[in-house]
A and B are shown apart, each in its own frame.
Chain A
Amino acid sequence: MSMAQYARQNTVQVGGVVALIAIGVLGTLLLDLPVEALLTVGFVERSFQAAAPIALAAVGGLYAEKSGVFNVGLEGFMIFGAVNAAAIMWIVGGSSPGQSDLWIAVFASGLLTLVYVIPFAVLVIRYKANQLVAGLAVWFIGLGFGPFTAVLVWGSRNSPGLTTINDLTIPFLAEIPVLGPVLFDSSPLVLFALLVTVVAWIVLFRTRYGYWLQAAGENPEALDTAGISVTRVRYAATIFSGVMAGLGGAVLLAQAGSFTGTGETMVAGRGWIAIVAYLFGNYNPIGAAAAALLFGGLDMLQIQFQTAGISVPNKLVNLFPYVIVIVVLTIWGSTRVPSAVGESYESEE
């Protein structure tokens, strides 16, 4: 799909982004904000980092929904991903874990999410549990057992400071202005999320398996007739979505360096934002990642405001992403969801 073609097919989204940028520019001009202090390379870098966990969860959720299962449990799986990553890092590396411990923790935690997502997939697909309520349940279970795990391991809902991921500097490439520091002198997990996004796009739109996935959501009968098990495709996509959300939570932890289990935990709605991201990206992995970047940028605005010396209360700036989610959903609320989403499929074998 060329850029022009994408723009033509997604006029509302493109219009929405243009409108947002216009409001932003207008706001900066009217309020006389120091633009240079706000739009720094560091800001772009931080936005990419903030976007990575959201993008991973969004790509997963997108696959599940494309296959016909609306996984609203992303938030819960992210909480498990984050707390398990912290616990594994603690077990492997003790109170001062190193970089290798961190990598082990991130990927082991992603894998461990299998333990949570497989029962969920079975309940939703095999036992036809209501996808929305089961997904909500996953969130509640995460809100309870996430901090529970933390209390078991550290005696407190929050973990002590562990370690954060080191930047990866790729020689020469890092010298490129703007792009260099953002991509080649930054968290390698950002590169990982980018890689996942691109691969997800290729698989979804350029391979036979991607075609099956789309058929499972749009026209399960046809896929069944073609001799492919709809149920199997849906299991794969749902389990994949949970693992990606778990990885997203683990990546979030690797960037924060410690687990916060108070209130609504450190995940703080990113799983829900991931759902909006892929809706906004119109079920296109690259669009979803771009939307995640938008939310990541909003999330990081507070640091920019602080460094630029603009006195807006932190708590209010932190609300930007949530407000934008509502605006985005409203402007472009009626998504064209895959037609068989929410419907369990009964094979005629």
Chain B
Amino acid sequence: MSDRESTRSSEVLSRISARLQNASVLGRLAIAVASTVSALLIGLMIVAASGYDPVQFLANVFEGSFGDDAAIARTLKFTTIFVLTGVAVAVAFRAGVFNIGVQGQFIVGGFATVISILWLAPMVPEGTIGGIILMLVGFLAAAITGGAYAALPGALKAYTDTNEIITTIMLNFIAIGAVGWLVEGPFRGEDQAAANTERIPEYVAFPRLIYDVPDFSMVGLAIALVVSGVLSVLLVRTGFGYDIVTSGYQQSAAAYSGVDAKRMIVVTMTISGMVAGIAGAIFAIMIQGYYSTPGGIATYGYDAIAVSLLAANNPLGVIPAGLLFGGLDSATSFIGLNSDVPAQLIDGIVGLVVLFVAAPELFRMAARRTGMDGDD
């Protein structure tokens, strides 16, 4: 590379980074809050229009998400999953890649966790040590499977210019169908009435801290927070993260600094899928304890898109956004039991949040992604 070229490329890079850092944090926060509030307002109008009491509904939402210890534990349980799946989406978005396949990566990851633990359990001593070994194996299996499942659409996008939105969505359907078949047939537990795998051993579980509930542990939440912290550092503070962002936003600039943008797409998608897989592992170990028909598993991977957008694709911003969605999901299960209002309403509200956030914030991203923006 000649001197002139490298000067020019560093100029381009510093301009990009300046623009990224100067992007108003307050502005983004305002968009996020406004989107959420507008979506909730429309939701309340729909509640009223369908003949229910909106005030009562709102009260139920709060009670169901933060009303008592059980509600808070439930909220944190969902938050754990949303933080991880949200980070998975955010990593890809950072590189200008739309990973809509987090749901599928989450499913194959969780399934791989259960299967690998079940396979290995007889060879490992029972008890805490065995539990830890098995969990590590489970996490590894989930990360590898989820990563590989995301690498495929990444490679297709990078090398054959295949639209990753469509391929990742198709892979979601394929994951649901294929894992559904596996759970129903080859991997169905012997004593299971429903189409489920066998349970993983009792000792393969996180210790119960603070909240004594069967399907949530602070350890799970801690893992989620650590992963989001690590990825935040990776993306914002390291050269590697810098390469990811530049290859997504400015392919020519990336090429100047010797970054293979195509390879970066595959790498980013792999990382994204690994995080989604880890989310699946936590879901399998902490919440389910076995694997069920994935058609019935909540759409964590889709809601994660809303989480990430709300957080302006910032791996740390995903934490409060994940808490919000965790609260909403927790309220959903509360409302399902304690109110006449159909709980599906909240899924619709999530969609509305995406719609509102999309309007200003993501326009910039698509412009960069398609390289049509010139500058600002």
Chain A residues in contact with chain B, CB under 8 A?
Answer: 72, 123, 127-134, 136-145, 147-148, 151-152, 157, 261-264, 268-269, 272, 275-276, 313, 315-316, 318-319, 322-323, 325-326, 329-330, 333-334, 342-343
Contact = CB atoms under 8 A, between A and B. Distances in A.
A239 B372 CA distance: 25
Contacts of B180: 315
Q: For B98, B177, B354, which residue has the most chain A Cβ atoms within 10 angstroms?
A: B177
Interface string B282-305: 000000000000011001001001
Contacts of A157: 344
B166 interface: yes
B351 A333 contact: no
Nearest to B173: A322
A140 B354 contact: yes
Given A130-B366, A140-B302, A144-B345, A342 B355 contact: no
Interface of B: 46, 50, 98, 100, 156, 160-163, 165-167, 169-171, 173-174, 176-178, 180-181, 184-185, 295-296, 299, 302, 305-306, 309, 342, 344-352, 354-355, 357-360, 362-363, 365-366, 370, 372
B170 A342 contact: no
Contacts of A151: 342, 344
Given A143-B347, A276-B166, A342 B174 contact: no
A263 B359 contact: no
Nearest to B155: A330
Contacts of A131: 366
B177 A136 contact: no
Contacts of B169: 269, 272
Contacts of A268: 173
Q: For A134, A140, A268, A316, which residue has the most chain B Cβ atoms within 10 angstroms?
A: A140
Contacts of A133: 309, 354, 357-358, 362, 366
| Chain A contact residues, majority secondary structure | helix
29 contacts: A123-B359, A128-B363, A130-B358, A130-B359, A132-B98, A133-B354, A137-B351, A137-B354, A137-B355, A140-B305, A140-B348, A140-B351, A143-B348, A144-B344, A144-B345, A144-B349, A144-B350, A145-B46, A145-B344, A145-B345, A148-B348, A151-B342, A262-B295, A315-B177, A322-B170, A325-B166, A333-B160, A334-B160, A342-B366
B355 A141 contact: yes
A140 B173 contact: no
Given A141-B351, A144-B350, A269 B302 contact: no
Contacts of A334: 160-161
A315 B366 contact: no
B165 A127 contact: no
Given A326-B171, A343-B372, A136 B299 contact: no
Nearest to A275: B166
A127 B372 CA distance: 18
A323 B174 contact: yes
Contact of A269 (B156, B170, B366): B170
Nearest to B52: A152
Contacts of A127: 359
Contact of A144 (B163, B346, B362): B346
A325 B347 CA distance: 27
B173 A72 contact: no
Contacts of B162: 326, 329-330, 333
Contacts of B345: 144-145, 148
Contact of B177 (A276, A319, A325, A343): A319
Contacts of B156: 326, 329-330, 333
A129 B351 contact: no
Nearest to A314: B181
Given A148-B342, A322-B174, A333-B160, A313 B358 contact: no
A145 B170 CA distance: 22
Contacts of A152: 50, 342
Contacts of B171: 322, 326
Nearest to A75: B169
Contact of B352 (A128, A141, A148, A318): A141
Given A145-B348, A151-B342, A136 B185 contact: no
Contacts of A138: 351, 355
